[in-house]
Amino acid sequence: MQFLENFKPELIVESPGRINLIGEHTDYNMGYVLPTAIAKKIIFKLQKNGSDTHCNIYTLGYDQGFEIDLNTIAKSKIEWQNYILGVLNEISKRTAKLRGFDCTIESNLPTGSGLSSSAALECGLAFGLNELFGLGLSKIEMVELSQIAEHTYAGTQCGIMDQYASVMSEAGHVILLDCRSLERGMIPIDLQPYKIILLNTKVSHNLATSEYNVRKAECEQGISIIQKKYPEVQSLRDVDQEMLTECKAEMNETIRRRCTFIIAENQRVLKMAKALEANNLEQVGKLLYEAHEGISKDYEVSCKESDFLVDFSKSNPQVLGARQTGGGFGGCTLNIVAENAVEGFVTAAAIAYKKAFDIDLEWFEVSPSQGTTARWL
């Protein structure tokens, strides 16, 4: 693109992906989650270009770019552009201070891998434009507008976890977030002598076209049945297993299993927070395995490749626990592995995975990292 010839970026933004230690699909049920940012990220370089409304965006990884006029923002047929366009649309609704800009995007964060590359794209752009033009948006406003952009332009009816974790995380901590009140606790996490190892199934998902939105609708069906007996209930967050059992006869088997998972998963987040505080790593691992069982059997958002890797990890006593992380239908499994056993574990997993699925397994170590940052150049 032509703008690249005279590109002198003024600002650089680092926008991280996230892992979620536990608490999957609880965010849109107004429950608890326990995510943190990781050091894999999207990097934005930005400059004002002096125009009122003309913007240029170019992504180095795909060697693709596009131009936008801020007066005529509309959905694109090209998927990744919608994350950008949705954010511009939401910012334009909130402030008249946005002007033309040029932006390049680079990334070492795998897409469709359950590590929230979409939230990193949305929030990083919002963060950068806020800084570049002094828009005066607070961090939580940027988180919320990015979530809305995901709903309206990308088509995933997501909760708030990914955007929140990408922006708000602190190194060395996981965030215990109450997705109803948005109250949060920063929990220090020290797993030594264990490491967090991600195994990427390379089964890539697009949540907008997956059953993600179906799961959300199933939870809503569950709530409306429970509300007949318990009108005060607003979300599955307010329901316990006893209440669910009382309403069981009114719901079909699928809806009952979806609700069972969410209620149990919400409890697991609180148990996990306690286990971390007590440095009870055995319990940390046990909760991960329990969670995966629910993800796979009751909530049915796993896939055979993720199930295979979680099962494989069970044969290694040096792995405390594992589960699929993120929205599901593939992506990465998160494994807690003894430091001195990492190499042996990933080598054996790669051989077994190749044999079973003919896919080259990718792996990396992650640790709880800082949320979004911006730096003037």
Give the catalytic positions in this structure.
162
Print the SS3 string covering 88-144.
HHHHHHHCCCCCCEEEEEEECCCCCCCCCHHHHHHHHHHHHHHHHHCCCCCHHHHHH
How many C-beta neighbours within 10 Å does residue 244 have? 19
Residue nearest to ligand GLA (CB): 327
DSSP state of 221: H
Closer CB to ligand GLA, residue 56 or residue 146? 146
Beta carbon of residue 38, minimum distance to ligand GLA (angstroms, whole number): 14
> Two tokens at 41?
């990220």
CB 41 within 8 A of CB 63: no
In the complex, least distance from residue 118 CB atom to ligand GLA, rounded to whole angstroms? 7
Work out how close the CB of 228 gets to ligand GLA at its nearest, in angstroms, rounded to a whole number.
26
Helix, strand and coil in the chain, % to nearest 5:
45, 25, 30
User: Do residues 36 and 326 touch, judged by C-beta distance below 8 A?
Assistant: no
Nearer to ligand GLA, 89 or 116 (CB): 116
Q: How far apart are CA 122 and CA 102, in angstroms?
A: 16
Shortest distance in whole angstroms from residue 27 CB to ligand GLA: 5
* Tokens, residue 91: 């910012």
Contact between 17 and 120 under an 8 Å Cβ cutoff? The reply is yes
Write the CB contacts of 276 (distance below 8 Å, at least 6 apart in sequence): 174, 187, 188, 189, 284
Asked if residues 244 and 151 have their Cβ atoms less than 8 Å apart, the reply is no
In one-letter notation, the amino acid at residue 203 is V
Residues that bind ligand GLA (CB under 6 A): 20, 24-25, 27-28, 116, 158-159, 161-162, 207, 326-327
Nearer to ligand GLA, 120 or 247 (CB): 120
CB nearer to ligand GLA: give 104 or 118: 118
Q: Which residue do the tokens 């009382």 mark?
A: 246
- Structural Rg of the chain based on CA atoms: 21
Nearer to ligand GLA by C-beta: 161 or 342?
161
The helix (H) or strand (E) run that includes residue 365 is: strand 362-366
Three-state DSSP class for 257?
Answer: helix
Nearest distance in Å: CB 376, ligand GLA: 31
Q: For ligand GLA, give the closer residue by CB, 219 or 320.
A: 219
User: In angstroms, what is the minimal distance from the CB of 200 to ligand GLA?
Assistant: 15
